[in-house]
């Protein structure tokens, strides 16, 4: 069979593109910002942690094709979030937070905050970004979901609810964006070596009534076939792939990086 007009080997050139990455001061967001800048993008790095953003910009290796523009912003300011997304070609919805607590003890104000940052802010960022993407006939939306966008775990009601909602938002954006050259996908990591997971170990120890040192093997990696944490840079490579020309037919999907967790 002859294929006509298919792109060549996987490579990513984002020269002339503007990307926005939320939660860029740490963990996965930081790795994504550096990866997209390495591909040549001008990266608007959004986080409420202004010092972390300055450190990110300072850590951009010399000779990198793209650049980092720190934008200190609390995403609970939804109007500001929408405005910040105007004029972007790529949007990585990544900022997140976690609280591990049984539903009957889960503080309602934290539930509200988690849903605001992890579901409503991505919606508002999409609203801000899509007009420019549609105008240019090209755009990439990558939503950092989680295995918890596909499966539930006890004690994570707000997080699981937000991630399941994000999956639906991502698929809707895929359907609406397709005629405009815009793809929308989720990336669904298992446990990644980031500050969010390090903080969770103490929380999980309390919730499950076990010592902290047993949490990694007995709770976090209990159902994973590959018994290690994922590295943020591995997530960033999956994000980069979804931004390549070769991935233009990949939309509305959830790319799971979970070491076999959901294979059970």
Ligand X SMILES: NC(=O)c1ccc[n+]([C@@H]2O[C@H](COP(=O)([O-])OP(=O)(O)OC[C@H]3O[C@@H](n4cnc5c(N)ncnc54)[C@H](O)[C@@H]3O)[C@@H](O)[C@H]2O)c1
Which x/- pattern, by CB under 6 A, does the window 66-85 give for ligand X?
A: --------xxx---------
Nearer Cβ to ligand X, position 1 or 68? 68
Stretches 41-49, 56-64, 83-91, 202-210: which one binds ligand X (CB under 6 A)? 41-49
Distance (Å, rounded) from C-alpha 146 to C-alpha 148? 5
Q: Considering the complex, what minimum distance in angstroms separates the CB of residue 192 from ligand X? A: 4
Distances in Å between the Cα of 163 and the Cα atoms of 16, 143, 221, 253 are 31, 10, 20, 14
Which of these, 187, 193, 191, lies nearest to 240 by C-alpha position?
187
Q: Is 23 in the site for ligand X (CB under 6 A)?
A: yes
Which x/- pattern, by CB under 6 A, does the window 84-113 give for ligand X?
A: ----------xxxx----------------
Q: Which residue is nearest to ligand X (CB)?
A: 27
Q: Considering the complex, what minimum distance in angstroms separates the CB of residue 245 from ligand X? A: 26
**Residue 134 designated active-site:** no
Cα of 173 vs its chain's centroid, Å: 15
Which of these, 257, 211, 208, 26, lies nearest to 100 by C-alpha position?
208
Distance (Å, rounded) from C-alpha 112 to C-alpha 241? 33
Q: Is 260 in the site for ligand X (CB under 6 A)?
A: no
What are the catalytic residues?
Answer: 159
């Amino acid at each position: 069979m002859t294929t006509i007009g298919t792109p060549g080997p996987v490579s990513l050139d984002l020269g002339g593109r503007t990307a926005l990455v939320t939660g860029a001061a740490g963990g996965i967001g930081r790795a994504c910002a550096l990866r997209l800048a390495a591909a040549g993008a001008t990266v608007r790095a959004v986080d409420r942690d202004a010092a972390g953003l300055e450190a990110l910009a300072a850590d951009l290796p010399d000779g990198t094709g793209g650049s980092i523009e720190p934008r200190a912003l609390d995403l609970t300011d939804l109007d500001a979030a929408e405005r910040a997304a105007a004029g972007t070609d790529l949007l990585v919805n990544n900022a997140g937070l976690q609280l591990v607590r049984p539903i009957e003890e889960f503080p309602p104000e934290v539930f509200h905050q988690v849903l605001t940052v992890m579901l409503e802010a991505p919606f508002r960022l999409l609203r801000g970004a899509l007009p420019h993407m549609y105008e240019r006939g090209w755009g990439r939306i990558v939503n950092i979901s989680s295995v918890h966008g596909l499966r539930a775990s006890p004690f994570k009601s707000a997080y699981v609810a937000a991630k399941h909602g994000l999956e639906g938002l991502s698929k809707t954006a895929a359907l609406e964006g397709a005629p405009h050259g815009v793809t929308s996908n989720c990336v669904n990591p298992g446990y990644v070596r980031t500050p969010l997971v390090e903080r969770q170990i103490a929380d999980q120890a309390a919730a499950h009534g076990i010592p902290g040192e047993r949490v990694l093997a007995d709770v976090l990696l209990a159902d994973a076939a590959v018994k290690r944490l994922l590295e943020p840079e591995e997530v960033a490579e999956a994000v980069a792939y979804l931004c390549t020309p070769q991935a233009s037919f990949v939309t509305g999907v959830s790319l799971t990086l979970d070491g076999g967790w959901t294979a059970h």
